[in-house]
Every structure is written in structure tokens, then in C-alpha cells.
Amino acid sequence: MPSRKRKSRLSKLHNKRLRQLVSVLQTQWVRVRARYMRRRCGRYIGVTGSCGKTTTTFLAGELLKSEGSTYAVVRNNLARGVIRFLAHLDHRVDFMIQEISGDTPGNIAGIASIVRPDVAVVTAVGHDHFSNFRDVIVKGDGEVPVSDRYLAAIAAEKASLVSGLKPRGIACLNGDDPRVRAMADLAPGRVVLFGVGDGVELRAVNVAAVWPRRLTFDLIVNETVFNVQTRFVGTVALHSVLAALAVIHAVGGDLARAIDSLATLEPFDQRMSVHYGIDRHTYLADTRKAPHWQVEKLLDDLPSIQAKPLVFVLGEISDTRNDKSSLYRKLLRRASGLADHVVGFGPAASNARKVAAQGFRNVVAIDTHEQAAEYLASLTPSVVLLKSNKTAKLARIMTLAALPKPVDSNRQRIVRL
């Protein structure tokens, strides 16, 4: 006879296996139901890319509302969430636009095999989540830099959305990114390129974004010129705006009406969103993601913004292949020449102290949110650009500064599960 202890172990093992079986069956049921509920979507639009997914999805979702019933889903972008949302769709919609993450190899292909998108949008290829691709990069090729091998693996993951399109599906691709543009060869149907360079169907020219004015440009489509006014600061969101307009163009929507609507849409919360504080500072909050390569792009954009005086607050960065401390210092030194005041906050504070000791007098180190709010209170009214990933909670600085609600916050406009 088995002992009581052995019976207990067997019972626990049985329960564990039973739970695993139930979990597998539930997952399979959700996938089957998602395939069935896909029939309720008139057109399914998938949006992926290393940056700009959320803004593109939000903008396209808002602009498509004039064309028919629309669901736009952001942040809930991993396979489990995407498929579960579709499985629980409770009524028919003309357009469903979904942000899709390619953070791990095979994620997008698995989603595309179930949702079979009508339109695939790819915004950019960068080093986000690069560490998840270590096992799939081409090894042993000394002539190809490691960085390029990572980007090739990440691009292949994003391209799965294009190759997973339905027959005659439409691919909307960033024509200024060579790795994205190359995905046109995988499209089963029409390709709509957008960008600022030559050979694109939607081309932005005369781009301007000098503070306090917002991003404006002329859009050329089939020799027709539209003047586009937006509420975005700087040019970082330019390709997201173009991607959203490319979606409207691809589905045969009214582009002129969409451009009129675009002029009223504020940036998505904490993605270069604008907030006015009672401390007389104007805050630009970009505090959701901060891969090293995106921080570099933001610094590239500061001369075009020309905000004066400008305070740049750097929190925690991510996706750094090499020594993180040296990258912090390089970013802080570079920011020193572009902003009037530079703050290394939290994880960046120790490196800010080293940079300040090297003679960069406008660089300061601050460890806590309270100290940051106190420091900002001592400055004359400025434009304060907060850049970090969400771990550092830099937006709390604005709360401590007793901010009112964000301008025209669109936090509740997007469907989330």
C-alpha cells in the first residue's frame, strides 16, 4: 500500500498534469474560436515595427471611424492577448486594427496564421528586444557585423506579418527603412510605400516642427498635394502619421477627411504627449519605452524642435548590447550640447555625476522623483523633455509638480482588454 506521503505526492502530480491539460485545451479552444470570430471583421489590419506601432494604431483607428465601425487595440500586442481579444469579439466591425509585437521569434507568424490580415503595416526595424533573438541570428559570419545580424533576424520576424497576408492583401511599408522596404517582395498583393524619400506612394515634403508649432508637412499622393497639420512635437512621429494615412489610402478611404481629423488628435499618452504644469513648465512626456537607438533618434530630432529653454531628463534606457554605463555617459554628453539643462535621473544618476565631473556644467544627477520636482521648481519656465522606459516612472515628476490633466488626453479612446 502506498504511504500517505506518497499518495499526497501522486495527488499533487495528478492535479498538476490536469491543470496543464486544461490549460492546453483552453488555449486550443481560444484559437479555434478566434479563427471563427475573424469572420466578424470586415478588414483586419495588423501593425508591427520596432517603434511607432502604438501611435500608428491609435491614429489609424481614430481616422477609420469615419469609414465605418472600428476597433483599435493597442498595447495588448502579444500572441495570447491578440488572439484572446479576437476570440471574444462580440459584434461585427468594418475595421479591426491591432498592434502586434514581434518581441520573440515566431510570435508574429503564429498570430498571422490565425488572424490572416487584410492589411499589414510595418513601421521600422530597430534593436528592440534584440536579446530575444540571440539564438536565431546567423553565427560565424565575421564579415557581417553582429548588429546587422540582429537587425536581419528582427526584420525577418516583422516580415512574417507581410508574408501572412491574405491573398491580394495590402502591405503598407516604410519606404525610408531599407529593411522594411525589402519586405515588398513578400507581399501577395498591392504595396503602399510611405516616407520622405523618392519612389514612395505617400511622400512627405516641407516637413517642419519648430516649437511651439507642431509637426506639419505637405503630403504628395498621385501628384495631389495635401497640407497636413498635426498635434505632434518634433518629427519622431512623422512615419507613424504617414503609416496611418497610408492605411486610409490603402482601404480606399477619404484621405482629405482623414487629414482634417488628424489636425485635432493629440499624441498618445506618454509618447511625446504635451502637458502644461502649474509650475509654468511645459512637459513633453516620452516615458513608455527607451531603447538606446530610439533615444539617439530623439536627440537627433532636438535641433529641429528648437525649444528654448530646454531641460532634458534621461531615466532608464534598455536594449543596450554593450556597456550600459558608457552608453549613458555618451547620451548625457551629447544631450549637454543640445539642451540648456540635462538631468541624469535614477539609473542614469551615477553616470551623470561622472559626466558633470568631466566639465559638463549643465549636467546634474538626481536620484529621486521628489528631488527632480524640487530641481525643476528652481528653474525658469522651460520645456521639460522626459525620456525613459516605464520602469523609472518619470511621469511621477509631473504628478509631484501638481499637473492638471493632460491636454486632450486620449487615454480612454482605445479599446484595451
Q: Under CATH, to which class is 271-400 assigned?
A: alpha beta
The span from the CA of 117 to the CA of 60, in Å, is: 15
Q: What is the pLDDT of residues 179-230, one digit of tens each?
A: 999 999 999 999 999 999 999 999 999 999 999 999 999 999 999 999 999 9
- The overall pTM is greater than 0.85: yes
Q: Which of 216, 239, 195, 310 is nearest to 55 (CA)?
A: 239
Please give the pLDDT value at position 414.
34
Domain with CATH 3.40.1190.10 in the chain: 38-262
395 phi/psi in degrees, rounded to 5: -60, -20
**Cβ contact 291:130 at 8 Å:** no
d(CA 337, CA 325): 19
Enumerate residues 6+ apart whose C-beta is below 8 A from 361. none
Per-residue confidence (pLDDT) for residue 82, from 0 to 100:
86
CA-based angle 12:18:22, to the nearest 5? 145
- pLDDT number for residue 138: 59
Provide the pLDDT for residue 83. Answer: 85
For residue 38, the Cα-to-chain-centroid distance in whole angstroms is 25
Contacts of 89 (CB under 8 A, 6+ apart): 37, 40, 41, 71, 96
d(CA 288, CA 229) in angstroms, rounded, equals 25
- Give start-end residues of each CATH 3.90.190.20 domain in the chain: 271-400
CA 110 to chain centre: 20
Residue-level pLDDT at 104: 83
State residue 318's pLDDT score: 87
Comparing C-alpha atoms, which of 319, 416, 410 is closest to residue 63?
410
- Phi then psi for residue 289, to 5 deg, are -135, 150
- For 340, the grid coordinates are 540648456
d(CA 269, CA 351): 29
- Percentage helix, strand, coil, to 5, in the chain? 40, 20, 40
Give CA 221 to chain center in angstroms. Answer: 25
Tallying the residues shown for the chain, one arrives at 417
β 310-314/383-387 pair status: parallel
User: Mean pLDDT per segment of 10 residues, for the chain of length 417 residues?
Assistant: 57 67 68 79 94 94 96 83 84 93 87 94 85 64 69 91 96 97 96 97 97 96 96 96 98 97 94 90 93 93 91 91 88 97 96 96 96 94 95 90 56 35
Cell of 11: 495527488
| pLDDT for 149 | 80
Coil, helix or strand at residue 170:
strand
Query: What is the CATH topology of the domain spanning 38-262?
Result: UDP-N-acetylmuramoyl-L-alanine:D-glutamate ligase (3.40.1190)
CB 387 within 8 A of CB 339: no
| Residue-wise pLDDT tens digits, 65-108 | 999 999 998 877 777 888 888 888 888 999 999 999 877 888 99
